[in-house]
Amino acid sequence: DTAVSQTPKYLVTQMGNDKSIKCEQNLGHDTMYWYKQDSKKFLKIMFSYNNKELIINETVPNRFSPKSPDKAHLNLHINSLELGDSAVYFCASSPRLAGQETQYFGPGTRLLVL
């Protein structure tokens, strides 16, 4: 009965590889997000989708491409991985209704690029 789930939990890969992280939410929310948390714990929004439509696209290298096949799923594909991409990536979802702004975070995917 997990609300927001991510796979994989850990990802160790070599520089230059391409990898994907998957996110699914069973809360019935319309909006999903990707955040990056760096080694200093700083949490920054990367992308947001509302009903499969991209609504936030921060200054993120175009090696990062989100894809939302349906409103319950938001995947993150990363091309040509670099050392600086090592971080924890969190998916989140929200009903995004007045009075219901809570964003529910997944457990995170710990990416280490060697």
Partner 1 sequence: QQQVKQSPQSLIVQKGGIPIINCAYENTAFDYFPWYQQFPGKGPALLIAIRPDVSEKKEGRFTISFNKSAKQFSLHIMDSQPGDSATYFCAARQSYNTDKLIFGTGTRLQVFP
**48 touches partner 1 (CB under 8 A):** yes
Contact region for partner 1 (CB under 8 A) — 14-22, 43-51, 70-78, 79-87? 43-51
Q: Are 113 and 49 in contact (CB under 8 A)?
A: no
Three-class SS of residue 63?
coil
Of the two residues 15 and 54, which places its CB atom closer to partner 1 in the complex? 54
- Tracing tokens 């971080």 back to the chain, one arrives at 87
**31 touches partner 1 (CB under 8 A):** yes
- C-alpha distances in angstroms, 90 versus 10, 18, 98, 99, 111? 12, 18, 24, 23, 11
Contact region for partner 1 (CB under 8 A) — 12-20, 64-72, 74-82, 86-94? 86-94
**94 touches partner 1 (CB under 8 A):** yes
Residue of 4, 24, 12 lying closest to 67 (CA atoms): 24
**59 touches partner 1 (CB under 8 A):** no
**101 touches partner 1 (CB under 8 A):** yes
**40 touches partner 1 (CB under 8 A):** yes
